[in-house]
Amino acid sequence: MEVLVAYDVSTETPEGEKRLRRVAKVCEAFGQRVQKSVFECTLSAADLERLKHRLAAEVNPAEDSLRIYRLQEPRERYLHVIGRQTRYDLHEPLVL
């Protein structure tokens, strides 16, 4: 399944800045950054639960906001991008 993760972490304190970096690192492990605080991820149901668990451990619910949206598939039919494209398409073969 494909999900979109968007977050807003309060960075008014040094602890908030650290949380922001940790949330970004968790998201980077599961998907690709498409905007500064937005990630697209292609996950199994188990990976989605792992992602939610890891993110819940990093955010402060009293100060931060985190949203996970399940995208309607096929994504190409419902996605319209204006401007820069992502670095790579998660559906195409990745050659290293």
Q: Enumerate residues 6+ apart whose C-beta is below 8 A from 84.
A: none
| pLDDT tens across the length of the chain (96 residues) | 999 999 999 999 999 999 999 999 999 999 999 999 999 999 999 999 999 999 999 999 999 999 999 987 766 676 767 777 665 565 565 555
Radius of gyration of the chain (CA): 14
The per-residue pLDDT for 13 is: 95
Domains of the chain (ranges plus CATH)? 2-73 (3.30.70.240)
The per-residue pLDDT for 83 is: 75
pTM beyond 0.95, yes or no: no
Listing DSSP states for 14-37 in one string gives HHHHHHHHHHHHHHHHHSEEEETT
Pairwise CA distance, residues 67 & 54, whole Å: 14
